[in-house]
Amino acid sequence: MAEFIRFDRITKFYGALCVVENLDLGIKKGEFVSLLGPSGSGKTTLLMMLAGFEQPTSGSILLDGTAINAVPTHRRDMGVVFQSYALFPHMSVGDNIAFPLQMRGMGKAETGERVKRALDMVQLSALSDRRPSQLSGGQQQRVALARALVFEPRVVLMDEPLGALDKQLREQMQLDIRDLHRRLGLTIVFVTHDQSEALTMSDRVAVFNKGKIEQIGTPRQVYDEPTTRFVAEFIGETNLVEGVVETVQGREATVRLPSGAQIVSAVSGNVASGQAVYLSIRPERVDLSETRGEARNVLETEVTDSVYQGDHLRVQLQTAAHPLIAKLGRRSREFLPGTKVYAAFSAGDCRVIAP
């Protein structure tokens, strides 16, 4: 599929502060791309530039092959959903949703029809005459969503739209938005700092750090195959262990840990023997047992603490040189502090990351 949106070497300065640095990003038509990163990483600024609220200091933004830097916001035809909803407080829910249609000079009958359909879509048909202030947060966000979709924009931009909702409502809305995306074939650019939200909803996730994209890929890629230490640590929980590469064979490398143990691990980037690297081991990929077993990578550890957390058991371990965390399924048996156990994981469950 051809690229629909293209950020071409975008740089943005606020005064002397560089918020986005020489950034390239392509988004396909119908794709759901999340911009994920901590606050101040430039993800919202990028979205604001796409919406036309901000101008890039240099570089150009292309929509369907045409540069849109000089196109004002109101002619970009992009629906924006804001974190704080930005509903017009002096208009009813119905009038809020009709607003973009009226701005496009649509007739009364068709406007009414479309507003009705949009309200049906977000299941708020009964509340058309209410004022936004009379709605709950979740309902307001649905209205904002309906308003951003009713005029069938070319792109839908969402700036942390679920940040103000409580956990349960947020998860429901995540699934609703994902469903809308699939049904309507929308192109969505979604800004969030919540990694689980990004993993749940997106076709691709772009992980932002200090104005740059650290890694972009499918949720599975950025979670299972982090290429940088930042990505490994920002998405999910991980054990980062320092080590030195001994040998590299194809997509696998042997790494010697400070404790002297040798670990065989998958490699994402380019590493050479003798290089100091990090090993990223996901806690939920670690198995514990009292016997050494058959696994390729086994570390001798001692349990220092174990916490029951409902859906999993979190065990803190100490090897000869570094701590290690393991998350075990709820069927696992208890591990008492002081117990000597073997921590085992396969080569595919850990990752060599160049520092």
Partner 1 sequence: MRKASSRTGRSLLLLAPLLVFLIAFFVWPLFSMMSQAVSDPAVLRLLPRTAEVLADWDRKSPPTTPMQTALMEDLKAVNDDQALGDMVRRLNSARSGFRTLMGKTTSALADTGNPPADLVSIDKRWANPEYWLAIADALSPLTDRNLLAAVDLGRNSAGNIEHLPADQSVNRVILVRTFWIAALVTFACACIGFPYAIIAASLEGWKRDLMLAAVLLPLWTSLLVRTAAWFILLQEQGLINDFLRWIGLIDAPLALIFNRTGVIIAMTHVLLPFMVLPIYSVLITIPKNLMPAAASLGAPPWRAFLRVLLPLSLRGVASGGLLVFISAIGYYITPALIGGPGDQMISSIIAFYALGSANWGMAGALGVVLLVATLLLYSVYARLSSDDPGRR
Min CB(164)–partner 1 separation in Å = 13
63 binds partner 1 (CB under 8 A): no
CA angle 310, 312, 313 (to 5 degrees): 100
Q: Which stretch binds partner 1 (CB under 8 A): 23-31, 109-117, 146-154, 167-175?
A: 146-154
User: 15, 65, 66, 72: which one contacts partner 1 (CB under 8 A)?
Assistant: 72
Q: How far is CA 354 from CA 223, 230, 242, in A?
A: 16, 11, 10
In whole angstroms, give the CA distance from residue 226 to residue 222.
Answer: 5
Min CB(83)–partner 1 separation in Å = 9
Q: Is the Cβ of residue 76 or residue 322 nearer to partner 1 in the bound state?
A: 76
Q: How far is CA 82 from CA 12, 85, 163, 190, 271, in A?
A: 21, 5, 10, 11, 42
Residue 87 near residue 132 (C-beta atoms within 8 A): yes
Residue of 275, 283, 282, 236 whose CA lies nearest to 354: 275
In whole angstroms, give the CA distance from residue 308 to residue 4.
Answer: 47
321 binds partner 1 (CB under 8 A): no
Min CB(170)–partner 1 separation in Å = 20
By rule CB under 8 A, what count of residues binds partner 1? 30
What DSSP element (H or E) covers 95? helix 93-103
Q: Which stretch binds partner 1 (CB under 8 A): 57-65, 147-155, 169-177, 196-204?
A: 147-155
b (16+ CB within 10 A) / e for 99-132 = bbbeeeebeeeebeebbeebbebbebeebbeebb
User: 73, 136, 172, 289: which one contacts partner 1 (CB under 8 A)?
Assistant: 73
51 binds partner 1 (CB under 8 A): yes
Residues 88-127 that bind partner 1 (CB under 8 A): 88-90, 92, 99-100, 103-104
User: 28, 29, 131, 210: which one contacts partner 1 (CB under 8 A)?
Assistant: 131
User: 46, 80, 199, 288: which one contacts partner 1 (CB under 8 A)?
Assistant: 80
Name the site residues for partner 1 (rule: CB under 8 A): 51-53, 72-80, 82, 84, 86, 88-90, 92, 99-100, 103-104, 131, 133-134, 147-148, 151, 157
